[in-house]
Amino acid sequence: MRREKLYKRGNFFSGESLLNGRVREKMENNRKNRLQMRDMERTQRGAGNGWGPGHRPGKRRTFWNVLPWVLALINGILLVQLRSQVRELNDGLGRLQSRMAAVAEDSKLSREDDVPVAAEPAENEETGITGYAEQWGLEWVEKPKERDLQEILKRLRELGEDSEQIASVAEDYRKYPEQLLEALANNPEMADFAAGYLEKRGTVLEEGLTQEEKAQPYPLFLQWDPRWGYASYGDGSVVGLSGCGPTALSMVLYYLTGKEELMPDRIAEYSMREGYYISGTGTAWLLMEDVPPLYGISVEQPEKNETVMRQALDDGKLIICSMGPGDFTVGGHFLVVYGYTDEGFLLNDPNCVARSRKAWPYTEIGGQIKHIWVFGEG
């Protein structure tokens, strides 16, 4: 009777259900524990490698596999650049050795210079171009251009079709400094100077100004004039290639003092001795300020504009301009302004006769002028 009552109340079945529920609960707890332990292991592995909980290790391994190749590529590029710089340095050392050998050879040569002198041409009353300048000057010279060596040689061969001297230089171009080749390519007026460079480099002719030059109030002095153009100046260079500053200053000093001893080679020698030449840069502006007062000449540095320049010239003064790239140079240059007309300013460019023949409107040259010095007596 008792069993029947228990059965009817369902207690037997209730006990079995309770047991099954506990088993399922334990199994569920075990599953959760396993999941928690797996998550903890993943978290610990991620923390040890700098990864977050959601990191996928495959991508990280891919990054570290690629990184050595990237670094190798960068090192390769740097190595190529380094080799290029080493080649350029070796080329520069080779040119320096060639110059030193040529100087040693030149020291054995006689200082007697065989300079052909043409009949003195009639003076140009408007520009004062006469004597040596008139002898080599052209009616027109193209605007200077910056060229690499291959472009320079191509231009020299073109010019050599009309000049045996330029053709000879182009044929033996390895004997000449690239600075001279570039200058000649930009100004074929220098053909005679370039042709005599190897023989006369480092020499100064003991010749003064011609009578026609002395008769002119503003004669043009060319930096590559053989009377002083081969004199040493700059970084293994000569006045004819690097001496526009001393040549421009020489013109101003001669115009205002009449002293013939103040020729470009003398100013260049003083500049080198007193440290006014800056290696890799050129003639320091300070040369224009310090030297003129030694000869009683005043120096001013006013603001550059057309009105100021015209007024200075009206007052009988002279102007030296420091020029930037443009019609006169691809780098830096000095020239002298001595007058003006209705057409523009009259100037003496120590590097070019053709550019000294014309009047230059301020609208053309004003933007190229970097600085001006105004010189006057006392």
d(C-alpha 291, C-alpha 303), whole Å: 21
* Model pLDDT for residues 81-99, shown as the tens digit of each residue: 777 676 666 666 666 565 5
Residue 170 pLDDT more than 90?
Answer: yes
Domain ranges within the chain, ordered by starting residue: 131-144+187-377
Helices within 323-369 (DSSP H only): 362-365
Instruction: Provide the pLDDT confidence category of residue 45 given band limits of 50, 70 and 90.
Output: low
Residue 369 pLDDT more than 50?
Answer: yes
Least reliable range by pLDDT among 176-185, 188-197, 207-216, 222-231:
207-216
For 236, which DSSP code? S
- For 4-31, letters b (16+ CB in 10 Å) and e give eeeeeeeeeeeeeeeeeeeeeeeeeeee
- H or E stretch at 359: strand 359-360
Instruction: Provide the pLDDT confidence category of residue 68 given band limits of 50, 70 and 90.
Output: confident
Distance (Å) of CA 261 to CA 30, 47, 327:
110, 85, 31
The SS3 call for residue 323 is: strand
Q: Which of 266, 317, 334 is nearest to 294 (CA)?
A: 266
Contact between residue 338 and residue 218 where contact means Cβ atoms under 8 Å apart:
yes
Mean pLDDT for the stretch of residues 260-285 = 95
> For position 100, what pLDDT does the model report?
57
Least reliable range by pLDDT among 65-74, 118-127, 149-158, 317-326:
118-127
Could you tell me which residues are beta bridge partners of residue 374? 300, 319
Helix 11-48 vs helix 2-9: crossing angle, to nearest 10: 50
Regarding predicted confidence, which is higher, 43 or 191? 191
DSSP class per residue in 32-67: HHHHHHHHHHHHHHHHHTT--TT--HHHHHHHHHHH
> For position 47, what pLDDT does the model report?
47
Mean pLDDT for the stretch of residues 121-148 = 69
- Work out the burial of residue 329: count CB atoms within 10 Å of its CB; fewer than 13 is exposed, 13-18 middle, 19 or more buried: buried
Residue 115 pLDDT more than 50?
Answer: no
> For position 198, what pLDDT does the model report?
96
> For position 43, what pLDDT does the model report?
57
CATH of domain 131-144+187-377: 3.90.70.10
Instruction: Provide the pLDDT confidence category of residue 108 given band limits of 50, 70 and 90.
Output: very low
The SS3 call for residue 3 is: helix
How many C-beta atoms lie closer than 10 Å to residue 257's C-beta? 15
Contact between residue 223 and residue 247 where contact means Cβ atoms under 8 Å apart:
yes
- Work out the burial of residue 198: count CB atoms within 10 Å of its CB; fewer than 13 is exposed, 13-18 middle, 19 or more buried: middle
> For position 119, what pLDDT does the model report?
31
Residue 8 pLDDT more than 70?
Answer: no
d(C-alpha 369, C-alpha 371), whole Å: 6
pTM, 2 dp: 0.67
Regarding predicted confidence, which is higher, 336 or 92? 336
